[in-house]
Amino acid sequence: MTGIKKTEHVPILLNEVLENLKITKNGWYIDGTFGLGGHSREIIKKEGRVLGLDQDKETINKGTVEYRGEIKSGALILEKASFSTLKTVAAKHNIIPKGILLDLGFSSWQLDQSGRGFSFSKNEIMDMRMDPENQGVRACDLVNGLYENELFKLISTYGEDPLAKQIASKIVAKRKTHRIEITTELATLIEDVYKHYYHNKSLKNPATKTFQALRIVVNDEINSLIQGMQSALEVLENKGKLAIITFHGLEDRTVKKTFAAWEKDGRGNLVYKKPIYPSDEEISQNLRSHSAKLRIFNKN
């Protein structure tokens, strides 16, 4: 199809998503986390139509240029919006989708090129806002503004880091001398905490959980997920499917608990009792897929 271009972003669990959404010709599907359009591209190749949402303005701008052919043909509609507002956006376009996808991961562009400090391996200001135009508090504001017990609760609750207390204490001690603004400085501080408690053992990415916690709080991700799931269930056609890809325990447990409650209430059924994981081959080709889980709910 004209207008579709290759990008460095590799859509995760692509075949499994397409197989379970069961794409039909001219059927509408909602990609609530459009990103670089990897999943949407393949849905359109199968002659489905996509309403793509993303709260990141730069992502939508990139998609508008890259997919101008699909937009012009009517195969794709792009909207700058959070998937928590999915019901409103679907109603605006009078769309009743056959399937909805929420890929809760970040695109390669957001991690590597956005300059917003999502990755602790980049020397950037800790921003982490998905929608800077409408979100005020940055990750560095939390790091430098919260009390020690508040930092501990944030890192413990949303990062589930076993050394949350020690990390919070180290942050408060460090910021007495200067404001902590840069991603790599916070990452080094956390690495030092881990080395102290694990006797200088080489540990892989010890900053992962704290950065995850900050990102979740800055973007109110768990509440947005709950709202988005409810909206998705309401707008799906009968027998439509909601597919959600998660990347950490907190969001996966939220999806699992919600799907189980819906099934108990007779609102539909789990397509699989256990999540679908990436194959060893996919993980070897795309290391960022290693923690992904796909759960699918079929609406009655």
Concatenated DSSP letters of 102-151: EE-S--HHHHHTS-SS--TTS--B----S-TTT----HHHHHHHS-HHHH
Q: pLDDT tens, 126-177?
A: 999 999 888 889 999 999 999 999 999 999 999 999 999 999 999 999 999 9
Q: pLDDT tens, 188-201?
A: 999 999 998 887 66
203 or 186: whose pLDDT is higher? Answer: 186
Q: pLDDT tens, 226-254?
A: 999 999 999 999 999 999 999 999 999 99
Averaged pLDDT of the chain: 92
Quick one: 210 and 229 in the same domain?
A: no
Q: What pLDDT sits at residue 121?
A: 83
Owning domain of residue 157: 136-218
Strand partners, 30: 51, 100
pLDDT surpasses 50 at 77: yes
Per-residue tokens: 60: 């939508």
Quick one: 189 and 251 in the same domain?
A: no
Quick one: 226 and 244 in the same domain?
A: yes
pLDDT surpasses 90 at 111: no
pLDDT surpasses 90 at 280: yes
Q: pLDDT tens, 26-76?
A: 999 999 999 999 999 999 999 999 999 999 998 999 999 999 999 999 999
Quick one: 103 and 224 in the same domain?
A: yes
5 found inside a domain: no
Closest by CA to 243, choosing from 102, 38, 138, is 102
121 found inside a domain: no
Domain count, the chain: 2
CA distance 257 to 113: 34
pLDDT surpasses 50 at 6: no
Rounded to a whole number, what is the distance in angstroms from the first to the last CA of the chain?
A: 34
Quick one: 56 and 203 in the same domain?
A: no
Q: What pLDDT sits at residue 198?
A: 83
Q: What pLDDT sits at residue 1?
A: 37
